[in-house]
Amino acid sequence: MAVSPLVLLAIQETPAIIATIKDLFAKQNPDAPQPTDAEVIAAYQQALQSSLDKDAAWLSQHPE
Amino acid sequence: MRKLLLLALLCAGCASTAPPKSLSPVGAAAFQKTRAIKVLDLLRDTAIDANAQQPPLISTATTRKVVQAHQLSLQAIQASDSGWAAAVGVTLAKLSHDPSLLPEEVQRLSPYFELAAQVLKGLQ
């Protein structure tokens, strides 16, 4: 039985959506080790660069 | 999936994740910027995956606009320590109202636009 592309997309994206929403709304646990400035800044720089790299890669693979 | 996103939208207005108190202002700013990047990535990745479906759920032209807007948004986040959330909000609003986007494409992407808008609103 053929599965609708929309359903396939929903199945594909649901884990990422759930993970993102959980991360966005996660409450801070006061007993958990608190991140340092260095850790947070490093995470930000990594997220930024890898995301920009993905943009550049997709755009180079799909020229106008 | 639509119900999940709707629930997230309903929660977004009243939920805010403040940066950990251990962080300095610089660290807190990086924390908030990372949150913005993640929600923008969700919009971008969904468009790319939708475009990759057979048949594509979102055209390559529209996906290119989403990716370019994402790129522009991240450059704005990188370039400034203040005002970037508003600038990114304007970029997304402009994209979501682009007349070249098909109605069904706007409908498919609108939950992600809304989620990003709510998160950015909380960061301003």
Out of B1, B31, B108, closest to residue A17 by CB: B1
**pLDDT band at residue B10 using 50, 70 and 90 as cut-offs:** very low
Does A13 sit within 8 Å of B45, measured CB to CB?
A: yes
- What ipTM did this prediction achieve? 0.85
pLDDT at B92 over 80: yes
pTM of the model: 0.81
Q: Does residue B15 belong to the interface with chain A, where contact is any CB pair within 8 Å?
A: yes
Tokens standing for A62?
Answer: 């799909």
DSSP secondary structure string for all residues of A24-54:
HHPPPPTTSPPPPHHHHHHHHHHHHHHHHHH
B31-84 pLDDT tens trace = 999 999 999 999 999 999 999 999 999 999 999 999 999 999 999 999 998 999
Does B74 sit within 8 Å of A52, measured CB to CB?
A: yes
**pLDDT band at residue A1 using 50, 70 and 90 as cut-offs:** low
